[in-house]
Amino acid sequence: DGGITQSPKYLFRKEGQNVTLSCEQNLNHDAMYWYRQDPGQGLRLIYYSQIVNDFQKGDIAEGYSVSREKKESFPLTVTSAQKNPTAFYLCASSMWQTYSNQPQHFGDGTRLSIL
């Protein structure tokens, strides 16, 4: 089945530690996105990538980093510079079409907590 796989489902971070969240898609989508969701809040965009080897900052990129070496994969690293990392992290993907939004489809998320 085609879809977006996020792993792990739960992740714990120690103080001063970097952690990496995995996102893989087999939908042959060009674009991929990372969002952060806090309780009672909407989703906020961290980073997005339109094509391989290119990515752009979203609204809340500070303390995060990404890479896009393969079309299928868009890992997110939460660095020690992110002082409030506890949240539900969601990865999404979509086709890319100039001048026309394409529906974004989401994975089932990774819940990150601080030890």
Pairing of strands 110-114, 10-13: parallel
Q: Of 11, 27, 43, 61, which lies in the binding site for other proteins, with binding defined by CB under 8 A?
A: 43
Q: What residue ranges in the chain does DSSP mark as E strands?
A: 4-7, 10-13, 19-25, 31-37, 43-49, 56-57, 64-66, 76-78, 87-94, 105-106, 110-114
Please choose, out of 11-19, 53-61, 64-72, 78-86, the segment that lies near other proteins by the rule CB under 8 A. Answer: 53-61
When asked if residue 2 is in the footprint of other proteins (CB under 8 A), the reply is no
User: d(Cα 16, Cα 88) in Å, to the nearest integer?
Assistant: 19
When asked if residue 108 is in the footprint of other proteins (CB under 8 A), the reply is yes
Nearer to other proteins, 84 or 99 (CB): 99
Q: Least Å distance between CB 97 and other proteins?
A: 9
Q: Least Å distance between CB 59 and other proteins?
A: 8
Residues in the site for other proteins, rule: CB under 8 A?
A: 4, 6, 31, 40-45, 48, 50, 56, 58-59, 90, 92, 94, 98-109
